[in-house]
Structure 1
Amino acid sequence: MSANRATCEWCGGEVPESPRGRPRKYCRAACRQRAYEQRARLAGSSISPEAVIMRPEKVRDFHDGLFELRCAAEDIATAADEGASSDDLRVLCDELVSLARKMEKLR
C-alpha cells in the first residue's frame, strides 16, 4: 500500500480511489454498515463517538504489540551503543518496521 492511500476508518484496509465526488471513508459497504451500527449503538449514551471500544483479547494483543515495539526499539539503541554494524542495525530496524506494521493492522 502506498503512503498516500487512504485507509478504511473501520477495518484499516486500503480504500479504493474514487474517481469523483468526496473521498471514501470505508473500503466496503460492510465496513460502512458496521460503522453506522456502532454510531447508532452509541447514540444517546455517555460514550464519546470517538471512543475506541475493543474486545479484551484485542486489548491484550495491543498491549503485547506495544511491548514488542518497545523491546525492538531498545534492541536498536543497545546495538547502536555497542557499535553494531550498519547491516546489523538495518536488520533490527526492519524488524521494528515489521512490528509497527503489524500493530497498524490491529483492529
Structure 2
Amino acid sequence: MTTADRLGTRKPYACAWCGREIVDSGSGRRRRYCKQACRQRAYESRSSGDTSVPDDAVVLSSHQATDLRDRLFALRCGVEDLDTALREGAEHDELTAMSRDLLSMAREAERLR
C-alpha cells in the first residue's frame, strides 16, 4: 500500500472497459469500472468467449473515435501554428499563450471519452 493510498489521495486511473477516468474515495478496494454499465459490458465480453477483441482493448463508438481524431487534428494544427510563430520571431507573451493552449489541447486529446 502506498503512502497516497493510506492518506486517501489516490491518483485517477482508467476504467478497465471504457477508459474513462476514475477517482476513488480512498477507502476500500479500487474499482475496475467507472459505472455498472461498463462492468456489465466487460462481463458480457468475457462470457461470450467468441470475440477477437483483446481483453485490454478500449472500445470507442464511431462518434467517440471521430471526436478523438478531431482533438488530435486540433493539437497538430496548434503545434504547426507554434512552429510558424517561432520561425517568424513572435513575442514572448504570444508564444506563452500558444504553449498554454497547446498544453490544454494535449490534455483534452489524452481523454479517450
Residues 20 and 56 from structure 1, CA distance in 2 versus in 1: closer, same or farther, beyond 3 angstroms? closer
Moved over 6 A (4+): none
Q: Secondary structure at the residue paired with 1:33?
A: helix
The match for 1:76 is 82
How far did residue 105 of structure 1 move? 2.9
Normalised to the residue count of structure 2, the TM-score between the two structures is: 0.67
Alignment partner of 2:39 out of 24, 32, 35? 32
Q: Among the aligned pairs, what percent are the same residue? A: 39
> What is the CA–CA distance in structure 2 between the aligned matches of 1:39 and 1:68, rounded to whole Å?
36
Which one of the candidate residues 90, 102, 105 is aligned to 1:96? 102
Q: TM-score, normalised by structure 1?
A: 0.70
How many pairs align? 104
Unpaired runs of at least 5, structure 2: 1-8
Give the match's secondary structure for 2:22.
coil
- Go from structure 1 to structure 2 and tell me whether the alpha carbon gap of 1:99 and 1:24 turns closer, same or farther (over 3 Å shift): same
- Structure 1: distance between partners of 2:25 and 2:42: 20
